Structure 1
Amino acid sequence: MSSRSKVWWVVGGVLIVIYCLFPIAWIVSLSFKAPSDISNQSFLPTDPSIENYSTILTGSASDLFLPALRNSFGICLIATAISCILSMFAAYAIARLDFPGKKLILGTALAVAIFPVISIVTPLFNLWRQIGLYDTWPGLIIPYLSLTLPISIWTMSAFFREIPWEMEQAAQVDGATTWQAFRKVIVPLAAPGVFTTAIIAFFIAWNDFAYGISLTSTDASRPVPAALGLFTGASQFEDPTGAIAAAAVIVTIPVVVLVLLFQRRIVAGLTNGAVKG
């Protein structure tokens, strides 16, 4: 690659990074603006303040935000764990076994993944009210599985197909049962794919708004995205823009931390099978 080409690639990369990070930087800037400074059109706050963070962590909005943060962590982690476990078995069966309807299962999973969530919220709301799951953790975990399982099955099945069948056969020849070969050979080899799938599933559940706002009504199970929609200002004439921005910054931190901690596994999982050699 010539020097001129390298320069253009660097310039293009910098522009893409700026384009992607500018909205995040703008939200961070808003979170440090006082309510009287929100209308200021400048990018940086004229008088930086942590008032918005105090409002959502220890102030008037803490009773709404902190329980929602706890609910989001608990519900999303449980939904992610269940999704990964179920999708591992389903993906293994799809990748290793030959049975009728295998393509139909994958097609159905894809159809469920692209099905509009808003179209089933109302029937689910009525059903949950009748059977007692409304405004509970299981009442959100189950719908979140419908969001995370399809993409998890598709992602993991691709990883299991790349694992050599001979390694599992060798373990069985050495005396391992099918379950032992799966647990001690297949699962460790598929670890990058499992981590990648878990991160993606967690992001999907963490960012959901439709189920969170429709299937909850109290702090018992309301997640963060739904709680942000209920923020109010100090008066009816004040928008809680700064408080919402501060809350958005806080709920973004776990996502960033997860990506930084597992970035090697995520990259290995996303590129697994992309290059043959």
Structure 2
Amino acid sequence: MEWINFILLGLFDHTQTHRVLFSLVFMTFIASLVGNTLMILLIHTDPRLHTPMYFLLSQLSLMDLMLVSTIIPKMAANYLLNSRSISPAGCGSQIFLFLSLGGGECFLLSAMSYDRYVAICHPLRYHVLMSHKLCSQLVAGSWLMGGIDGLMQASATMSFPYCHSREIDHFFCEVPLLVSLACADTTVFELFRYVCCTLMLLIPLSLIVASYSLILAAVLRMHSAAARKKAFTTCSSHLAVVGLFYGTLMVIYMRPKSYHSVGHSKVVSAFYTIFTPVLNPLIYSVRNKDVKGAFRNWLGKTHAM
């Protein structure tokens, strides 16, 4: 393959309206960096948050932090410098990191659903069933599965010859659009990619559905209304994140090729890569007394210094 740069057509034009939209996106990016960094800092420094649930949450924040840092800085630099080029190495890196983090988050969310299942259905055995060793293994497995998926798809995508148009009508290198530019038969790879993405989404989702089915059955057997309310409150944040995450990814990666629309894909991808990472720390902190308490303690220590 010739090492000629690709052209990213981007998300915004240089009109007044698009400048305002770009400013909003960039402020959202900064808010995402601050929110996820703060979440990781609070979980690391506050002893009350040194539990399996918050350890898994810190890994989710780390993945979201890396995701926005993979996509938005390059998009912003191209827009501000009025440039649209990205090198093949940069494109391959974006694909690898985007898919690794997306795949890793799929498995991490299933691990978080198992944590909620154990906490609600087996509270007396929680610290045995969710030991530090198992938590570390679940996190390592999530990163590993995501990394394998990202490496395979990035390597295959960048191995195709791109001898005609190199214009990618998107704001980052996304596999479906890039493969459509290849001047080679990509049928086998596209079938493999569809099966791979479907399994990467459906296997963790099946585990999440199984966990929450068992949780729902346990909650319905509870006699105390206060206990049922506490259980639903504990799970609501995770379910909201799962809904946002899987909803957008399924729209992107599980639609038949004939239903792909570039404009629609840009909007959905923007929601997943820009807005979901800033929503996750908000979802987990707004109704969470432990996180709000840790934040107040952190502010108190900061003012006291």
- TM exceeds 0.5? no
What TM-score bracket applies, with the shorter chain setting the length? 0.3 to 0.5
Q: Which has the higher helix share?
A: 2
